[in-house]
């Protein structure tokens, strides 16, 4: 049992100043106001007591779009890589994530799916990898970003059916270009199977976006990046997403992918639980400058900015969730509670898991972060257990 008190608890109902949480069997059992704390502070031999000393108590971050970190890539499809990525990002506040693929061969994508299935049969000690986000290969060659053009293909519904049959409930998000032939058919089928269908790496026009939305598309990846822009006579993908409350989107808050003014605009238009903070981190996250590989393409990281060696396109990021969180507070001007929703509750809701994770609320998993006033991670708990880095 664990009792954390003297914390500024960020809940969906607001900030509980100098409040406390009581954690039992990995769940948040009670949340108490300051004046009720004394009862719980009575010394009990089986209760660990933590004085937060006025720090923020936040729900663990949920990253639905992350490719790697600390030298590891999910496309490695090894247990060592999956565990290495999970361990690295857990140190920076991520407690739940989706293993995100890149455009690659069918065989390589299947290896990632199998590796996640194998991992889920074990105890996950760090950030929990709850499934896979398939980013590609059903995308547009006109908006490749850092995706490998050698593996771009039109939507193959037979592939998706095979993957769902072999790896049931593993694919959580599927990103595609909705303007491609047979994309609408894939959208409808994916939605029927409980998969969140997203647009990304797409050159669609507004009419095509409307058709995709009617078919069940409800999400979009890395807003403004690798998608058709907005023109006053053709709204494109950007305009379609901005005006449609039913399509959620993601933001990479690193100061390179999107100008802070555009992020500010986005937060004003996407203010109904439909904006998600992500990292889109590649293997270079945590390692600094150098030459790396992403989906078979060489990437140069300089001053923590990742770009393709050939073509100079941005290639993912070296971001962590807490760094993106700080940027949203310090550069964009959102409050800590506002950014907490983007980093935790909104991703949980997008995945249909808000009754399990994503907020500090009674009955939910005790995936919690203790974060200082200057937004440094002090402690991370997963299912009520303090991660080893913070012991």
H, E, C per residue of 48-89: EEEECCCCEEEECEEEEEECEECCEEHHHCCHHHHHHHHHHH
- Is 55 annotated for ligand binding? no
Pairing of strands 48-51, 305-308: unpaired
Is residue 148 a known part of a binding site? no
- Return the SS3 of 266: helix
pTM of the model: 0.96
Is 146 labelled a binding residue?
yes
Q: Do 175 and 198 meet the contact criterion of CB atoms below 8 Å apart?
A: yes
Angle at 360 between CA 359 and CA 365, to 5 degrees: 80
At 243-278, the pLDDT tens digits run 999 999 999 999 999 999 999 999 999 999 999 999
Residue 272 CA neighbour count, 13 Å, CB half: 8
Six-digit token pair at 326?
A: 């700080």
Residue 391 has pLDDT above 90, yes or no: no
List pLDDT tens digits, range 2-61.
999 999 999 999 999 999 999 999 999 999 887 566 666 666 668 899 999 999 999 999
Q: Rounded to whole angstroms, how far apart are CA atoms 35 and 198? A: 46
Q: What is the per-residue pLDDT for 37?
A: 65
Backbone angles phi, psi at 279, to 5 degrees: -105, -40
CB atoms within 10 A of CB 154: 14
Is 295 annotated as ligand-binding? no
Mean pLDDT of 206-235: 98
**179 marked ligand binding residue:** no
Question: What are the contacts of 152-158 at 24+ separation with CB within 8 A?
Answer: 152/103, 154/180, 154/181, 154/182, 155/180, 155/181, 155/182, 155/183, 155/185, 155/186, 157/182, 157/185, 157/186, 157/189
Residue whose token pair is 């964009």: 332
Which residues have C-beta within 8 Å of that of residue 353, sequence separation ≥ 6?
130
State yes or no: 65 annotated in a binding site: no
Task: Sketch the domain layout of the chain as residue ranges.
Answer: 2-58+361-386, 61-351
Architecture of domain 61-351: Alpha-Beta Barrel (3.20)
Q: Is 20 annotated as a binding residue?
A: no
pLDDT category, 96, cuts 50, 70, 90? very high
Asked if the 2-58+361-386 domain carries CATH number 2.30.40.10, the reply is yes
From 280, 289, 312, 383, active-site residue: 280
Is 201 marked within a binding site? Answer: yes
Give residue 294's pLDDT band: very low, low, confident or very high (50, 70, 90): confident
3 state DSSP class of 5: strand
Query: Kind and range of the H or E element at 203?
Result: none
Catalytic residue status for 73: no
Instruction: Specify the pLDDT at position 36.
Output: 63
């Amino acid at each position: 049992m664990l009792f954390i008190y003297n914390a500024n608890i960020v809940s969906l109902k607001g900030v509980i100043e100098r409040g406390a949480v009581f954690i039992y069997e990995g769940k948040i059992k009670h949340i108490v106001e300051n004046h009720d704390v004394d009862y719980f502070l009575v010394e009990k031999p089986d209760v660990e007591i933590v004085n937060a000393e006025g720090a923020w108590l936040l729900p663990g971050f949920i990253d639905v779009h992350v490719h790697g970190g600390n030298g590891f890539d999910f496309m490695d499809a090894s247990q060592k890589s999956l565990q290495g990525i999970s361990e690295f990002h857990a140190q920076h506040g991520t407690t739940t994530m989706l293993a995100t693929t890149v455009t690659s061969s069918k065989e390589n994508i299947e290896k990632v799916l199998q590796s996640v299935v194998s991992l889920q049969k074990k105890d996950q000690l760090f950030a929990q990898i709850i499934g896979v986000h398939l980013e590609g290969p059903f995308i547009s060659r006109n908006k490749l970003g850092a995706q490998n053009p050698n593996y771009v293909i039109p939507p193959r519904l037979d592939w998706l059916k095979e993957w769902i049959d072999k790896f049931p409930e593993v694919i959580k998000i599927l990103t595609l270009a909705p303007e491609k032939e047979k994309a609408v058919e894939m959208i409808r089928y994916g939605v029927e199977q409980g998969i969140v269908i997203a647009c990304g790496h797409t050159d669609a026009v507004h009419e095509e976006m409307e058709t995709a939305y009617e078919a069940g598309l409800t999400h979009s990846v890395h807003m403004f990046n690798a998608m058709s822009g907005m023109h006053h006579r053709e709204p494109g993908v950007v305009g379609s997403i901005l005006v449609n409350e039913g399509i959620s989107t993601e933001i990479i808050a690193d100061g390179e992918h999107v100008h802070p003014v555009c992020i500010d605009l986005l937060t004003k238009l996407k203010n109904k639980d439909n904006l998600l903070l992500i990292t889109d981190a590649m293997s270079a996250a945590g390692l600094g400058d150098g030459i790396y590989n992403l989906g078979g393409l060489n990437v140069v990281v300089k001053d923590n900015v990742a770009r393709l060696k050939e073509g100079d396109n941005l290639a993912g990021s070296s971001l962590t969730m807490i760094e993106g969180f700080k940027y949203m507070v310090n550069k964009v001007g959102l409050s800590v509670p506002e950014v907490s929703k983007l980093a935790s509750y909104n991703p949980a809701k997008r995945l249909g898991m808000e009754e399990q994770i994503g907020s500090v609320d009674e009955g939910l998993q005790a995936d919690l972060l203790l974060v200082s006033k200057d937004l440094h991670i002090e402690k991370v708990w997963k299912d009520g257990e303090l991660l080893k880095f913070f012991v």
